[in-house]
Every structure is written in structure tokens, then in C-alpha cells.
Structure 1
Amino acid sequence: MRRRLVISTIAIVLVVLGALALPVGLIVYDAAEQQLDARLGLRVNAIVSSYEQDLASGREPNLDELRLLLDPTDGLQVVQADGARSVQDVDPSVESTRVSRATASDGTRFTIVADADPLDQNFRRRLNILLMLALGAIIAAAGLAAVQARQLARPLERLASRAGLIGDGDFSRRPFVRTHIPEIDRIGSSLDLSAMRVETMLANERHFTADATHQLRTGIAGIAMRLELLSLSAEPDVAADAAEGLKQTDQLNSTIDDLLAAARNRTTNERTVFELPTIVNDHADEWQPRFQAVRRHISVITSNPAPPVYGTKGLTGQVLDILIHNALKHGAGAVTLMIDGPSVVVIDQGPGMSKSRLASVFDGPVDPSAKHGRGLALARRLAQVDGGTLSVVGNKPLRLRFELVRGDVGTEHRLTSARSLRRRDKQPDQPPLG
């Protein structure tokens, strides 16, 4: 996009300069021609004035002295009143000339013939100056177009990156950098609102699934306890029915487990093998402006070669954003994201935490309506959903380690799951629950 803007701006400037080139060239040539005519007119008038002064003083005019008033390249023709040519000083090899004439009081006609080559040279010199100015204008336009293209492209690139993160399942609400361009700001606000709504819907869905599962398990556990008591009955029929009921409760528990696993897999169906440094660097670049605004620094260090990891890019990005935001809001000094194998250690130079706070740092708030204290608890839940871990590995400075599943381990896990599914498909169908 930036290159297109620069090329289009240069093309517009070239079209404008091309449209102005012909009239400007004509004006410059006409100005040079008028300057030459004025010079020749002044000289022929000077010759006539000197000639008449000699006549008035009774002296015979010396035409050779009059020739000294001209340039060496100029020619002079003097035609007396009777038609006799007394001077014919014109170079016949000159093809292009300019002529200026004047007549003395006694009828003698003076004609100055000048070579037009200096006129052409003067025109070319001025034309070269105009071409240099035009070239400077093109360079200046290209520079301004590059600056303008950068100012327009960067917000659109951030929007494209944000839309890509939402497509990867990252619905974290990072602060949108206002560009003061109404259309782009409206798109960014709409993306943030859409991400917030989708995240809220997914969170409500996950909570509903967990709550419904818990309630079902509680009821099934109560039924199972009663059936266990009935299975101890002395009556064989009652004991047999109770045992059959216990089998059905076990099948119902297995069904609930499968449904819960399916619900969780739906939120992480984008698991793939990816390079961890790429994700970490992208999110560090996204947070760089906010750190610069508070005169702080964020950097990424890779201590060991990072192997590919297996997980969901969106969930990984959300965990990183939560950890970086926590370091920005509650920490101090520079923040370092150290990539160590399949893990990322977030380090800030703050005062750390107290021992009591460290013990419950990943516990959510007791009050459901509390607005603070949910970030690290949410980060750990997201890490666990994606098969990773989040833990505190140091204090003063605070160090939080987010470790993911290695790519080769993730591949083995997928192959194992596929074999399990194939074995299950080969098993006979279970009888329906009665």
C-alpha cells in the first residue's frame, strides 16, 4: 500500500509538471527573445545617437568607431539615404539571426544583425534550471508521499493485525491507538466492540457449560449413592436393577465428559504447531507504543533455540497480553520477555509481591462483581485450556513463566487421539440409556 501511494503521488506530480511544461517553456523562450530584442534596440539607438552627434558637430561620422559599440559577434548594415551601402558587416554563415533597425535624421538606415545562438543557449540554461527545480519537486513529493503513506498505512496495518488476531481466537481488548482519522477509528472501535462481544459470549458459554456440568454431576452423584444402597438389598431383583442403574449413571458420566471435552475443543480447534518467537515479537511490538508513552522499555531475548510449540495462537496471544499488561500496570522499569525453549518468562523490575500475595496470585477475586484481580487467574485458565502452564519462578524482580507444549509432543498427542478415535469407532454401539 505504501508503495502504491508513493507511486500514485509521483504520477500526479509528473502529470501536473507535464501539463505546465509547454506553457512555461514558451514563456521562458519569449522572455529570452524579448531580452535579446531589447539589447539590440538599445545598441542600435546608441549608434544612431552617436552618428547624429557627429553630424551636428560638422564631423564626418566614423563608422568604424560606431562598430565598437557592438558585440564582436554582432553584424552592422548601414544604408545611406541614396541607397548606397557603406557598411556590410554580416557573417553569411550565421543561419539564425535577430535584427534591430533604426533610421537617422538624414535618412541613413542602421541595421544590427545578431546571432540567435546566444538566445538558444540562454533558453537552454533557463530550461535546465527549470528541470532541476522540477526534479527537486518530484523528490520532495516522493518524500512527503512516503511520510503520508506511512501515516496512513500504519493504522491500517494495525487494523489488519488486530483482525488477524481476532480470526486466530485472540479476543483480548488491547487499547486501540487513535489515529484521528474518523473512518479508521470507527473500524478499530467496531473491531474492539466485536471482540468484546464474542469474548463475552464465549466466556458465558464456558461458564454455562461448567455450571451445567457441575449441577448434572451433583445430581448423578446423588442418584448413584441411592442406587449403591439399593444394590445392597437382599432382594435379587432390586439389587440387579440397582446395578443396572449404576452402569447407566457411569455411561451418563462418560457422556457428560465427552460433551464437555467437545465444548472445550471447540474453543481451541485452531491448535497447530507454530514458532513461539514470532508470536512474542508481534505482541511486544503491539505493546511498544504504550511503554514508550510512560517512558518504559519492553524487549525480547531468546536465551536458547526455541523449538516449535503446539497450541492455539489466539490463546497464547491472550496470555502474553495479560502478562505484559500486568507488568506495565503493576510493575516498574524495563520489561523483558525471555524465550527459553518452549516457554516465555516475563520479567519486570518492580518491587515484586508479598508472600501472602504470591500464594494467591492466580486465584480469582472472591466477589464476582470485583473489577480487579482477574487477569492472572484468567491467564492461568487460558494456559491450562491450551495444555500449558503458568507459574511464578521468582520474585524481586517478579518472574512469571508461561510454558507451552512442545511441537513434537503435540504431534504425538494428536496421533494418540486419532488412534483412540479409530478404536472407538470400531467398538459396537452402546445400548441407549433407559
Structure 2
Amino acid sequence: MGLFGIPLAVGLVQYSLEDQESVLQRTASLTARSVQSELARGDAPTVLPDLPTGVVLAVYDGDGDLVLGDGPEPAGDEIGRALAGRGSHATIDGDIVVTVPVTGRHDPDGAVRAAMPVSAVYAGLVPIWLGMAGLAGAVLVTVWLLARRQARRLATPLEDLAGAARRLGEGDFSVRTGRAGVAEIDQVGGALDSTAERLDALLARERAFSQDASHQLRTPLTGLRLRLEAALDRPDADLKAALVAGIAEADRLERTIDELLQLARERTGRGEPTDVDALVRELEPARAERLAVSGRGLVVDVAPQLPPAAASAAAIRQVLGVLLDNAEVHGAGTVRIVVRESGEALAVDVADQGAGPGPDPFAAPPERATGGGVHGIGLPLARRLAEAEGGRLVLGRSVPPVFTLFVPAAWPETVVEPAPVVPEPAEEVPLGR
């Protein structure tokens, strides 16, 4: 404001001084014309014209003597220049002074001197300066109010964002930010909301996984311990074989726990494609041996020239393990594994000749399980693992049961979408058993 106001004030002073000189020049010229005839006759003028406020007028004859009005005596140099035919204007002793000659036939017959104090000019500028100062103050107050309003409009949402970020850092993933109407701040708030939602979903998924895995794994581990203790109580049993089988089973469960905990964590990529054919062939010998004990068979049918799966081998192995455990424990007759192509996905069917699952096979397990159970993680968590890999686990047919695992296919020279479209089964009931 000072950079604008000070030059304006200085310019206004300069303009006022020049304007006042013009007023004095006109007044002196008018007076010179009005007294010309009298001075030409040698008479002393007696009447002066009406003068503007603050103007002091003096008339001098051809000898430089004051004949009318108020002026210095003896006459100063400015009167001498006027009697020589040269008018002048200057600031003398704090006055603005303008002199003009009274033109005669040959030489000037006299001179007129008009003067005004410079202080009178400044006094006339005081109201203008006060008005300018008041206007500047009003502008400053207005700008301050607008700046304060804008600062509050920007600071309030930023403070809310800071509070939301602090709550998010303290573990409150339910925090959500409002919208401030400022695009940049709203983008930050949206990113913070998205982060909170992702962290909340991740935490909920890991909590659910931990509950399901701990519950489902606790039962087979307890059963394993009971079988080992029973073998020790039977002196005629082959203890070495029982212990070796028990240790192998414990190792398998331990690997399962480690693998599942790793799968439960969110990943940034799909990793290497999985050869589903090789994975199924890897599971076939042990499963066939276990089914043969109860007089049942295992048939594996893999379609030729299938692409690899764009899913984790560990996740597919765990899901198939659950389906085979269910078929072994709850099913009947021959267990059949069919690996086939289904649109942009690979489908793995696991079927048996049993009576089918219960009314709600994909329901979460109860809080406390008693008695026997299914080895593995259970169908609820198996479905969750399949969905985490971009696939689905469905019950394609209820009697005799056919469970189908759909996983995205990793076609050569194509980009694999993280969530491919999976065809709906002809009949779908809640999964699990």
C-alpha cells in the first residue's frame, strides 16, 4: 500500500503547486490588463479585481515603486525582471510568486506581483491526504478480513487432515475426511481415505485369517497329539512308524501355517505363473495312497496344452488340499480331479460320489470345535484365498458334489488382469463342508 500511496501523494503535491502557479498567472495577467490604462497615463490604480482566496497582489509603477496592494518594498529582483519585460515564477521565502509586466507602448509601464504561501497549498491537500489514508485503511482492513477468511478456509481442512492422519497413525482406520471444496486438499483427503480403507480391509482380512487358521489348525494338531499318545500306550504297535508318520504330519502342518501366514499378507504382484498340471501331479501320489487305505480311488484328468495360472502355487496347493480333505473325510467313492480351460480362466474341478455338503458349507467354523474335523484350513478360508488370487471357489453341483476352483490364466504375451471374469456355475450353493 505504501508503494502505491507515497508516489501518489508526492504527485498530488506537484500537481497542486503547478495548478496554483497557473491560478496566480491568470490573476496577475488579468490585473495587469485592468491597470494598464491608468499606469499609461501616470495615474496610480485604486481598485484591484476580486482575488482568489489566499492570493496576495501588488502593483508597481515603471520605477519599481509599490502603488497598490501588498508587496515587498523596495521591489525585489522579480519585479526588476518584469519591468525589463520578462515575467517569472519562483518560490521566494515560502511563497509561490508570479510576476508579469504591464505592457506599455514602448517599455513596460509597471509590473504586477501575485503571491500565495506554499503552506496554504499544503493545507488544502490535508483533507485529500486524510481521505486517501482512510481509503487505504479501509482497503487494508478489507484485505485483512478476506485474507483471514481465506486462511481459515484453507487452514481448517488442513488441520482436519492433520488430525485424521494422526488418528490413522494411532490405529483408527475408521477415520474419514470431509470435503473442503479445494481440489488439491480434497485430493489429499481422498488419498488418506483410500489408505484408511485399505488398511482397515487389510487388518480385517488378517484378523479373520488368523481366527480361521488358528481354529482350523488347532483341531488336527490336537488329534495328532492324541494319536501319538495312543501309539505310545500300545506296546504291540510299531512305535517307530507311528512316530515317523506323526513327525511328517507335524512338519506338514507347520509348513502349512507358515505358508498361509505369508499368503494372508497383501502383495504387490502375482509372482511367477504356476503350472497347475505339475502341481496336481505332485499331489496325486500321496492322495491316492490315503484314499486307497479306505478302498477308494483317485482319477486325475488334465486337458492338454493348458496355460499356466496367474496365481500363487502355495494358494492353489492349499485350496486343493482343503477340497481333497473334504472329499476324503466327508465324501464317498472315487475322487476325481479335472483341470480344464474356462474362458480366460483355468478351472480345477474336485468331485466325489458322496451325498454332498450340508446346508451351509461355506459358513465360518464355530468358536469352539469338538471331536474330529477336516485336516487343513477349511472351506471359508479356502474361498478367501482363492478370491485373494483373483479367482473364485464355487460349488458347481451339490449332489454328487463338484467344487470348482477358478484362477486367472497367464496367457503368453498378454497382460493378466488381477480380477478376471469368472463364469457363474449352473448351480451354486454356499461353499464348504
TM-score w.r.t. length of structure 2: 0.45
- Bigger helix share: 1
